Structure 1
């Protein structure tokens, strides 16, 4: 989801003041063997806090390597900064950026250090590697945690009404009917922040893959479409269903993501199709949300194939222009270690499991992260489509707002999205389009 994980925590912060022109590709080692690495990260609060925890712990263990960190904006402005600095050879030694489809546009084979077969990746979980791989070569290590994309739900409402976590869409809708009868909003909807409208579609990918295992490859090759694949079109249908049944909150068109999370935590709504990474801000002011809010994957049609869709963490990469490759690799190896996960956990509440072998969620982890861990441990998770295919249309959030508002029929919305992705696939020069 191009917009989603950049939207949370938009507060500006700077870790270590660094002059932009001093970063470039770093300076060569000093006479005493000391090295200074430059590190570029986005300015969201979660990234800033995570990066600070990583660099502080690394420098404490490696006193001869200093890391100077600078921030950049998020969103498309930040994308352009990263692309420009990579293409002009002015990138920092190491940098933080998305994994998945957005990485593909950076031409990593020409701009980043190839880590394939390197000991740096020794502790990286194998399931993560496809999201930082292009042309059979791996370029990054995971920074942060997996995020669940599905249904955040109020566990107290479930307990109060005697409800069970649904394993099928029919069970989910039956729960919504009971919640509505109790005069509680069944499904929180926040279309003022248009990106939030995408979750019923993007978070349904586990079910798409379960029904059509070759969908990602065939979709990338232009062989299948959302509108022609019942399992893929189901996400648009789900959006239409909850609106048609009157399960959404009043004023959903002007409600914001922050308001939606608060509504869920306060028990004014039972379900919210959302990312688990949306929780830390509300937990800061409403600590009970850490235990009261749980997570489950968007249910499909078959209870025996129930699972969850996940968003892989961002990654840290080394620029090919770095003059301090050994130090850069040392830092990347640390980022991918259990010690780094422990350091981050002390500073940032994890909203899902780490992608590092040997790392564990703390006993006091939020409930949504524990719920997500179960799906991963049981092998019942799949990455969102954007981690398996470079094709992601830019207009999905406008299309899903219209479908979820009852303005566009779901089949028509799916067909509109097929046209939207076609333009992007042709821009990428993909075969079959």
Structure 2
């Protein structure tokens, strides 16, 4: 047991002070992230929108995310990641507090489009910041550490959010989400101001950098990642509805089930990544492995109506997430050295934004027309397609290495 504990803490060694501050800022921000996990329930139960309307609201959410990711990547290259992150945190906080007063369909669509556009401007900027604050050899573990902070906050957020909704109503989670964004911004001013933070890995400025959208291998990788995001976002829209409508779980139990995802990541992701980094499995191979596990989690829903399968499915999906996301992030950062990091990481973030645009709405429409079981079959087939594309990426990377070796 002592050896396991020591191994766990050793997986954190060597990370820079700035990465620890960035993790704290992320933790504060995500601890208040209560609106998004309960958004589909809020829209159907509190505002009484139909599943089709919720699907289109989720699409506006995704379009805002797409715009924000593109804008954040562009601004990170032009004015720097620090200003982008700070501005995003403060404006997001104000937006969360304001959007609770929007109740009509179109005002909700426009409101969430603007809110998520502002919020997701920070996503590519966070990646660029993390790259700057981390030594090259620690990039994957630093990314994993930030994800740990995200999921530690996310494990607390839904659990607390479920209690708040049950006691004082939905309006409480909007206020907390907004306030924590602003607090995270204030902490950033005190800890990661450009005059206080040390840049450990300066971006190498190269002549004629490769434009991200012209990097064929990278684009194919992002398409596969968007497909992974397409099925993964179901855990934040259609699956909570499945929990409630088919298994009749309360908001509190749904919150605890979602919180288990973050708790598992907090306990096991860092040592798992530290172990996988020592193996011969490539980053793309790990991403594909995580994709397979997440696809299997949907198949499990078809096997039995036993409620315990929900816990097993969440564990397997979480394991897939733990493997795919850190190595997917790390591959994108490595590839971004071919050009401007902001543009590359902007496209990376946009791939998940595309998943939000199509994933939530498609899931809602599929459930409305074909039911939950057929929807889970469709998600499993999407995972097969994504795994095939990652195989193609791996083959192209091998060919690229052979060409560079010959030259």
Does 1 or 2 have the higher relative contact order (CA < 8 Å, sep 6+)?
2
Which of the two has greater helix per residue?
A: 2
TM-score, length-scaled by structure 2: 0.24
Which of the two has greater strand per residue?
A: 1
Q: Which has the larger radius of gyration?
A: 1
